[in-house]
């Protein structure tokens, strides 16, 4: 039977975080709050857990799962490089609602889906999420909803959609809204805006100087958030580009 903890209560929060960490180490699923919506997560390096996450949401490998991290150091260990603008964007907007698509470190033994060699990374601005991430390490996280349904902004919505597929639910009240994180692709020569979100294009340009908003992208854009459509792409986009995941945080 699933277990639910009220993170507004200090004792329940401590017990919930301990239970969540233990659950993740047993390759099971947890629902956790973020600074946007609730996410369903697992250990990013356990294939059976990632498969269980996809099954709980009713989705396939063509929309790969993104990764949340608790530190910048953890993020940089997961990628080949951040390109010329990645560190500046991280310094300006992390922790916060900015998801960065990077070339994944090829030495890593993980399988998040059909990523085409990329990974979507974000550090959420939420104390409960960060505490869990710093304890357990990088987590594969997607929005806490069945594919095609609205993302959960309350723990009750998450429980209704995901039920007993999740072992632990960490309740931190209602999330403010369903506005997703902004997604920027760093796999090209210049940063490319894949999805508009909380962080505006103007703020991105103030940091990076230039943000492309059209043209082909080699990266899938996945997010643990609302199933909103990503930025439109031209019809001649390369076949090597994986299908965008409109849920990535």
Please enumerate, by residue number, every residue annotated as part of a binding site for L-threonine.
36, 122, 181
CB-CB contact of 140 with 112 (8 Å): yes
d(CA 191, CA 173): 35
Contact 233, 217 (CB under 8 A): yes
Question: Is the peptide bond prior to 95 cis by the omega test (within 30 degrees of 0)?
Answer: yes
Instruction: Identify the helix (H) or strand (E) that includes residue 27.
Output: none
SS3 of residue 183 by DSSP? strand
Torsion of CA 166, 124, 240, 112, to 10 degrees: -30
From the annotation, which residues make up the binding site?
A: 36, 59, 118, 122, 143, 181, 195
C-alpha to C-alpha distance for 235 and 220, rounded to whole angstroms: 16
**Known binding positions for ATP:** 59, 118, 143, 195
């Amino acid at each position: 039977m699933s277990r639910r903890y009220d993170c507004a209560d200090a004792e329940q929060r401590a017990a919930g975080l301990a239970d969540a960490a233990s659950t993740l180490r047993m390759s099971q699923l947890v629902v956790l709050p973020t600074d946007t919506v609730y996410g369903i997560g697992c250990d990013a390096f356990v294939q059976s857990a990632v498969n269980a996450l996809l099954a709980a949401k009713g989705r396939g490998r063509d929309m790969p799962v993104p990764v949340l991290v608790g530190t910048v150091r953890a993020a940089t260990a997961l990628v080949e490089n951040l390109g010329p603008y990645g560190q500046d964007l991280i310094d300006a907007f992390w922790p916060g609602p900015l998801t960065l698509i990077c070339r994944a470190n090829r030495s890593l033994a993980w399988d998040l889906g059909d990523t085409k060699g990329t990974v979507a990374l974000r550090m959420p601005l939420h104390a409960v999420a960060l505490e869990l991430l710093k304890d357990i390490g990088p987590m594969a996280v997607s929005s806490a909803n069945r594919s095609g349904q609205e993302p959960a902004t309350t723990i009750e919505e998450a429980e209704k959609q995901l039920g007993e597929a999740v072992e632990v639910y960490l309740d931190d009240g209602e999330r403010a809204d369903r506005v997703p994180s902004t997604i920027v692709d760093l796999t090209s020569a210049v940063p490319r805006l894949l999805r508009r979100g909380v962080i505006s294009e103007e703020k991105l340009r103030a940091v990076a100087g230039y943000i492309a908003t059209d043209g082909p992208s080699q990266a899938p854009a996945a997010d643990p958030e609302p199933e909103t459509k990503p930025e439109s792409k031209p019809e001649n986009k390369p076949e090597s580009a994986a299908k965008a995941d409109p849920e990535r945080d």
